[in-house]
Amino acid sequence: MKFRDGQWLVAEGVRVEYAEEVYRITPTASNKGISLLCPTRKVMTRGDTLNLGTVSLDIEAAFDGVISIEATHWQGAVRRGPDFDLFPAGRPDAEARITKTETGTTLTAGSLSATVSGKPHEFNITFHSSDKNGKPLTTLLNRSVGYAYTPATSNPKQLADMRNIKHYTFTQTTLGVGESIHGLGERFGPFNKVGQKVELWNDDGGTSSDQAYKNISFYLSSRGYGVFIDTPERVELEIGSERCCRLQTSVEGQRLKWYIIHGPSPREILSKYSILTGAPGGVPSWSFGLWLSTSFTTSYDEKTVNSFLTGMKARDIPVEVFHFDCFWLKAFQWCDFEFDREMFPDPKGQISRLKADGIVKKVCVWTNPYLGQASAVFAEAAAKGYLLKRKNGDIFQWDLWQTGMGIVDFTNPDACAWFVGCLEKLFDQGIDSIKTDFGERIPFEDVQWFDTSVDPGRMHNFYAFIYNKLVYEALQKRYGKNEAVLFARTATAGNQRFPLTWGGDCESTPEAMAESVRGGLSLGLSGFAFWSVDIGGFEGSPPPWIYKRWVAFGLLCSHSRLHGSNSYRVPWTVDDDDKTEEGCSATLRKWTHLKARLMPYIFSQAQESIKGGLPLSLRAMCIEFPDDPTAWTLDRQFMLGDSLLVAPIFEEDGTVQFYLPQGPWTNFFSGEVIVGSGWHTQTHGFGTLPLFVRPNTLLVLGKEGETRTVYDYTSDVEVRSYFAEDGATMNLVDNQGNSVGKLEMKGSEILGLEQLKGNSTVAVISK
């Protein structure tokens, strides 16, 4: 929200009060920080302290390299939930050191410090590294902390009745010259958020708008720091869009709390962020295989499903997971957790037969927390009080999506248990995974939650957390801690703990594929390790060339799913079953087989991503090359793990431009070496794209011709050396993710080869 009209004027209808000076500094109650009393005008005489508002600014050490800042106007405002589940693995010790000199007061938390200027009548708080260089990261300068009223008030007595007056709290941190801002969830617009207004409010807006399914209140700066905004409520950011040199964060309320996280590298920032909100959850190796969907509004029954899977097997395209989308349920009865028996007379038997025949290993179904009133479960949930209500006691219903639909109230423990019971009935039928769709359109006006202590505005985004947590933990309880996989569309901070997510409803166009790349990059910079996309696009029917280009991109995401809206995504329906090597079936087969070969590398990198809070894929180039200014601008390419560079192709003729950072990079397919840094243009058929191996890499691949996703990642493998120097390593894992050893370059020799089994080979590709 903008509070000013240009640099000089206040916006029409708004009254703004700024913290003008630091009047007093005292220790915080925790003794881990300092509390600043900041009047909204300079206090020159005792009389200036009367009829005056103040802002309290509490600055505390959270843990090494992390400091929290909380701005408060009126301390007596009720603190309503829900709150983010912080430090889920335990809170590290916080050592705070406070020093005072003539120039100011400094709070130090390990590698990060905050210094409050000691000049009289000045408001200036600088966040900087704690080393002798004291590199400044960002600053709260004059008129950067305050509160605002709308409509504007002219007399303090008007605040006796606040029912029709909105109160906002805001802070403005400085943006340095050339600084770029990234993250804030799965955002499909420009990769660098400077110049944008961003509203953190989950909504179902597709991939071609400024709305987002996954609003994550965390951003990462190219200057070596990140910021986590500690509230699930609506947050509005003006990122160089109100004042070009500042990033403004505002919320409607009396308090605003955020954490500044020092890196200086993106890896360190994301690692510390994962301590704060939780590390990404692990996913089983089978989930990295190809997922095939029925698509959304297509017509399908048991015979159709069988034809899809037998057709894929006949074309040597292994399918790891088959997904039943919405119409496994009877129309108007979503989501009642019951197969439509007219289309699927024996679902348990069908699933059992599919698995026994070996044409698919796992089965997933679509669900959501919305209950249409035509379903029997609506009546049951309504009678038991499991649905969200209006303030007058009516069940909250609308005809958006499902007729007379109600929303499961997950603040009610009995409703949670009931919902899990519905899922368990699906597990009993052989369902292995759940697609948790929706959860964005959660009303916040005229609603009454079962838990009366929660604020409906804070529940809107937070619903994504409790919804996906419930389903994920139900899967863990049934199948084991590391075997749970859900396919979620909505998320908020902390949802990275419940993998995985996909990018929502994109069109079947090259522009939408590029939007999806930007969305995946931004979500990865928000602490999410695993991400997928609807291969071919969701809306519309992709022409063969887009389908094939998207297949290449999609099979190099961490997870890969064929899914559409009103058209199938099995390849032979896209190009009239073109049987040539350039056809859709051959293209899908090539890329599915390649991913199978890459599994020893991919699954090893997955474990490292979980430990470090890093995206596996899509991993933004700036994570691996933070000192390369160009890396912070790249939104059409990404890293798969730390060693493979991927540049999707968006042109029908196969032309693609990509950037290689410094060093000799090796084309995975041809072995050609290109020395970076610089931009390059190539033209590719459908069986290749720019896939380059980073110098100083040891790469372990499955054997030539490997088509399985799950196998022994240390037996019959191929070890490749790409300009590997002394100290280069590759961690070996089994197909459960357990570490089983390490390969290491020592001079010209690779140590640890004795850990490999079978007919494993070694090849020096580049030296």
- Beta-strand pair 501-502/531-532: parallel
Residue among 493, 594, 508, 544 nearest 231 (CA)? 493
Q: Would you call the peptide bond into 151 cis, given omega within 30 degrees of 0 as the criterion?
A: yes
Q: Is 667 exposed, middle or buried (0-12, 13-18, 19+ CB in 10 A)?
A: middle
Distance CA 155, CA 157 (A): 5
Tokens of 345: 């007379």
Q: Could you write out the DSSP letters of every residue in 412-471?
A: SHHHHHHHHHHHHHHHHTT--EEEE--------SS-B-SSTTB-HHHHHHHHHHHHHHHH
Q: Would you call the peptide bond into 456 cis, given omega within 30 degrees of 0 as the criterion?
A: no
Q: Could you write out the DSSP letters of every residue in 353-406?
A: HHHHTTS-SEEEEEE-SEE-TTSHHHHHHHHTT-B-B-TTSPBP-B-SSSTTBE
Q: Would you call the peptide bond into 622 cis, given omega within 30 degrees of 0 as the criterion?
A: no
The rounded Cα 170 to chain-centroid distance in angstroms is 25
SS3 478: helix
Annotated active-site residue in 437, 483, 534, 624:
437
Annotated active-site residue in 60, 336, 505, 534:
505
- Beta-strand pair 218-221/225-229: antiparallel
Would residue 505 show up in a list of annotated catalytic residues for this protein?
Answer: yes
The dihedral built from the CA positions of residue 433, 437, 440 and 442, taken in this order, carries a sign that is negative
Would residue 437 show up in a list of annotated catalytic residues for this protein?
Answer: yes
Distance CA 216, CA 203 (A): 13
Partners of 763 in beta bridges: 720
CB-based contacts of 754: which residues, under 8 Å, 6+ apart? none
Q: Which residue type, as a one-letter code, is found at position 385?
A: G
Would residue 515 show up in a list of annotated catalytic residues for this protein?
Answer: no
Q: DSSP secondary-structure letter at 145?
A: E
Residue 158, CB half-sphere, CA atoms under 13 Å: how many?
13
Annotated active-site residue in 21, 236, 440, 575:
440
The dihedral built from the CA positions of residue 723, 725, 727 and 732, taken in this order, carries a sign that is positive
Distance CA 448, CA 384 (A): 16
Element (H, E) at 638: strand 638-640
Residue among 292, 368, 202 nearest 532 (CA)? 292
3-class SS shares of the chain: helix, strand, coil, % to 5: 20, 30, 45
Q: Which residues are catalytic?
A: 437, 440, 505
